[in-house]
Each structure stands twice: as structure tokens, then as C-alpha cells.
Amino acid sequence: MSAALPEPNPHIAAMAAYTPGEQPQGSGWVKLNTNENPYPPSPLALAAIRAVVAAEGAALRLYPSPDASPLREAAAQLHAFPATDILAGNGSDDLLNILIRAYAGPGRPIGMLDPSYSLYPVLAAAQGAAVVKVPIHADFSFDVAAVAKCGAAIFFLTNPNAPLGVSFAPVKVAELARAFPGLLVVDEAYAAFADADCAELPKTHANVVVTRTFSKGHALAGLRAGYALCPPGLATILHRVRDSYNLDRLAQVAAAAALADTGWLRETVGKVRSERVRLTSGLEALGWTVVPSSGNFLLATPASAQRSASPATGEHAYAFFRERKILVRRFPNHPLTASALRITVGTAAEMDAFLAAAQAWSEG
Ligand code: PMP
């Protein structure tokens, strides 16, 4: 008989793991729950992967570039940004984790708007860091002064916000950067679908870092790649705490190729944005309340002649869609989201299916 499993660190024993969105098994689902892109990725990204696995995968025998230089060079070119100030991540979740490892810990809280991305508190808990939440008001604004004095060492501004979908103007983010004394992380996972972004801010604001992912705009969630645009001096610090080869060879070349394919991005994002408009007006016509979205998803509150908006109504609609193999997401733990559904913007056919089911629910 061997010894029992030892206790982990006390702060690890006390924490819970992140709950990812459901990945349903089997076919036939209309999957609108994790904000994936409904279109196939850039053919150039696929060609780059094929080139790596050619010659019986000889290239895979060798370690990849430790700091993902193919991807960093491509991002440097796109943003006219020094490659040395760009850090690549195994998805942007990896970048968020690296940032928290370097800047948060006991006595050094993280800050975030509430509601926003539920992974930040999990990453903070793993470092023994407390979380300070600054509320988003019912009109979707927030108080710059409240963030400025929240006491966090590092603050996460999800822009566009998830799960609400609203975005904050770059001038507002710049104002926040000047007022907040810590490191301001602008998590731009959904920036490809927005009218404006903050990619220029790290060039002029020494405490602003912008994170990007390939999971949403570039349709490469299965690949795991992202990058951070860092102010001078930050990347050197972050390199100390990242995994030594944090991006595999396939991700490095495919993400670099995807970034260079600006035509693909323009076309795909255009389709998502036009379906977003159609979904918004279709749901509003049914009497639903829709939060104005700059992302590839909508937060919408179902209501019908029979049922007024409430968390129970949201739950009822969720179950109705699920029975019809349409999967959306609920966020029951916050008053701004508890009565709503978050719906990923999919293809025209997926949106037709969703709108038909929404009409059946509203009129049922
Ligand atoms: N930030 C936000 C706000 C997100 O919603 C997500 C996706 N769940 C991520 C970051 C992480 O994306 P990834 O790790 O796939 O790059």
C-alpha cells in the first residue's frame, strides 16, 4: 500500500478549475456557444501546416523557434511594431497566464471589469492573487476613477467586452491607462469584429499591453496561437515566465500565414458582421432585447407575449434551443447577463436555423 496523494499548495486546494463551454459529441448540432468562427481558416494557413508535415514530417523532429519568431515577425510587419516587443502565446489564455504570473501574487491583486472573462479569476487563484472587480453599469459604462484606485497591480480590460459584446473607445482606454498606475491589459480577443482597436496604444503608453488571438477572427481556435503587443521592456520580463517552447511549429507558421492573409480576414469578418446585423434585427423584431455588439456574438434577452424577461425565461429558452440541437451559452451569475443568452454569430444557414427556433419559442 503506497502513501496517499499528498495535499497540493493550500491556494490550489482552495480553487476551482475554469469551466469551458460545452463541446457537444455527435453531429447535427448548431454550435453557437463558444464564439468560434463558422468559416474554414485561411488556405494559406493550411498550406503552411502542410509544408511542415511534408517530407514525412521531418521538420517535426526538431524543436521549433523558442520565441515563435515566424509569428512575431508577421505581427511586427502587420502592426509596424518592433518584433522584440511582441510575445507569442499558446492561445491568448497563455498570454493572460504569463502576464498574471509576472505581475500578480499574494498582496498584488488582479483587477477586472464585472462582468468580463471568467478565466482571469482562475489564473489569479493559481498564483494566490486576490481579484478586485469593478462594476459595469446598466448603461454598459464603467467608472475610470474606480479602476484607477482599485489597488490592482494588473487590470484586464476585455475590449470588446465578453460576454456583453460592448466595446470601449480607444480614447477611453487611453484615459484609463493614464489614470491607472498598474499594468493595463487590453484583451482584444474579439477586436477583429469591432470598428476600432487599441493596437497603437502600447507605442505611446508605457503601461498598456494588447493581447490578440487567432481563435476568433482567424478561425484557428483548434491551433492555439495568440500574441501580445508590449510596451518597451515588458516582453523581456514576460519571457522569463513563459514555457520555453510555448508555441509548436505548426501554430507558429500557420498563425504567421493567417496574419498575412488580410484579404481572407476582411471577407470573413465582413460576413460575420453582416450576419450580426441580421441576427440583431431578427431578434429585436421578436421583442428580444439585444446588447449592441462589437464581437462575433450577441447577448440577447428572450421575451415573448407569454413570458417576460427573467433568469427563468432565459433558462427556458436555453432548454428549448438545446432540445432542437442548437447550443448557446448562459451566464446566470451576473444581473446584467442572468436573463440572457449569448449567441455566437454563425453562417447565414445557422442564423436562419436560430431565428426560426427563436420565432417558434417567442410565439409558442
Ligand atoms: N479572452 C477572451 C475575452 C475570450 O473570450 C477568450 C476565449 N474564450 C480568450 C481570451 C482566449 O482565447 P484563446 O485562448 O483561444 O486565444
Ligand 1 neighbourhood includes 213 CB (under 6 angstroms)? yes
Q: pLDDT > 90: what percent of the chain?
A: 95
The residue range of the domain holding 286 is 23-39+266-363
**How far apart are the CA of 112 and the centre of ligand 1, in A?**
15
Ligand 1 neighbourhood includes 185 CB (under 6 angstroms)? no
pLDDT of residue 21: 86
Q: Which pLDDT tens digit goes with each residue over 29-69?
A: 999 999 999 999 999 999 999 999 998 999 999 999 999 99
**How far apart are the CA of 92 and the centre of ligand 1, in A?**
6
Position 284 pLDDT exceeds 80: yes
pLDDT of residue 211: 98
Confidence of residue 108 (pLDDT cuts 50, 70, 90): very high
Position 1 pLDDT exceeds 80: no
pLDDT of residue 364: 83
CATH for 73: 3.40.640.10
Q: What does the H/E/C string look like for the chain?
A: CCCCCCCCCHHHHCCCCCCCCCCCCCCCCEECCCCCCCCCCCHHHHHHHHHHHHHHHHHHHCCCCCCCHHHHHHHHHHHCCCHHHEEEECCHHHHHHHHHHHHCECCECEEEEECCCCHHHHHHHHCCCCEEEEECCCCCCCCHHHHHCCCCCEEEEECCCCCCCCCCCHHHHHHHHHHCCCEEEEECCCHHHCCCCCCCHHHHCCCEEEEEECCCCCCCCCCCCEEEECCCCHHHHHHCCCCCCCCCHHHHHHHHHHHHCHHHHHHHHHHHHHHHHHHHHHHHHCCCEECCCCCCEEEEECCCCCCCCCHHHHHHHHHHHHHCCEECECCCCCCCCCCCEEEECCCHHHHHHHHHHHHHHHHC
**How far apart are the CA of 308 and the centre of ligand 1, in A?**
32
Ligand 1 neighbourhood includes 117 CB (under 6 angstroms)? yes
304 or 112: which leads in pLDDT: 112
Region 267-283: mean pLDDT is: 98
- Which residue's alpha carbon is at the smallest distance from atom 4 of ligand 1? 189
pTM as predicted: 0.97
Number of domains in the chain: 2
Region 296-317: mean pLDDT is: 95
**How far apart are the CA of 93 and the centre of ligand 1, in A?**
6
CATH for 352: 3.90.1150.10
Q: Are residues 240 and 340 in the same domain?
A: no
Region 215-232: mean pLDDT is: 98
In this structure, is residue 14 part of a structural domain? no
pLDDT of residue 22: 86
Q: Are residues 84 and 151 in the same domain?
A: yes
pLDDT of residue 245: 98
Q: Are residues 204 and 70 in the same domain?
A: yes
* Of 230, 260, 290, the domain-final residue: 260
Atom of ligand 1 nearest to the CA of 213: 16
In this structure, is residue 16 part of a structural domain? no
Ligand 1 neighbourhood includes 162 CB (under 6 angstroms)? yes
Mean pLDDT of the chain: 97
Q: Are residues 252 and 290 in the same domain?
A: no
pLDDT of residue 329: 97
Q: Are residues 109 and 86 in the same domain?
A: yes
Ligand 1 neighbourhood includes 221 CB (under 6 angstroms)? yes
Atom of ligand 1 nearest to the CA of 89: 16
Ligand 1 neighbourhood includes 201 CB (under 6 angstroms)? no
Region 273-288: mean pLDDT is: 97
